[in-house]
Amino acid sequence: MDVMDERRTIDGVDVERAHGVAADLRRYLESGLAPAGLFTDDVFCDFTFPLGRVQAQGRSAVQALRRRGHPVAGTLPRWRVDATTQGFVLEFEERWQQDGQSWYSREMLRADLRGRAICELSVYCTGDWDERQQARHRETVRLIRP
């Protein structure tokens, strides 16, 4: 194995593939526009939020699930991706403007890949915090790290 191959694969994990697809997913989460080939036709999403859980199957159903929760573009100011043997884990903070307010959430997802496309997502979300909830949190909690 040459040096370049060692950087692409660690313990059988295709790090380059995982980071490439994760970058495409981040762009989708920020823009709402999925690049061609991001999801398989039969992609499955299991989405858990504070007081519920929903699922969707198929590219258009998964994208519709996202649009219902986040119909506007936003940013992912902080994120981390870790490659796994089947895909990657993405931890991120999301911020967006909607209904005259600045919104915030923290999420973690596991993405399984088939080739370079996401075939399964398992997503955990803190819920969407409006400005009032963000202020309440700032007043009552001192975080050591952002």
In a domain, 16, yes or no: yes
Q: What is the pLDDT of residues 115-129, one digit of tens each?
A: 999 999 999 999 999
In a domain, 44, yes or no: yes
In a domain, 145, yes or no: no
Which pLDDT score, from 0 to 100, does residue 2 have?
35
Q: What is the pLDDT of residues 21-78, one digit of tens each?
A: 999 999 999 999 999 999 999 999 999 999 999 999 999 999 999 999 999 999 999 9
Q: What is the pLDDT of residues 83-123, one digit of tens each?
A: 999 999 999 999 999 999 999 999 999 999 999 999 999 99
pTM value? 0.90
In a domain, 146, yes or no: no
In a domain, 71, yes or no: yes
SS (H, E, C) the chain: CCHHHHHHEECCEEHHHHHHHHHHHHHHHHHCCCCCCCEEEEEEEEEEECCEEEEEECHHHHHHHHHHHCCCCEEEEEEEEEECCCEEEEEEEEEEEECCEEEEEEEEEEEEEECCEEEEEEEEECCCECHHHHHHHHHHCCCCCC
In a domain, 46, yes or no: yes
In a domain, 33, yes or no: yes
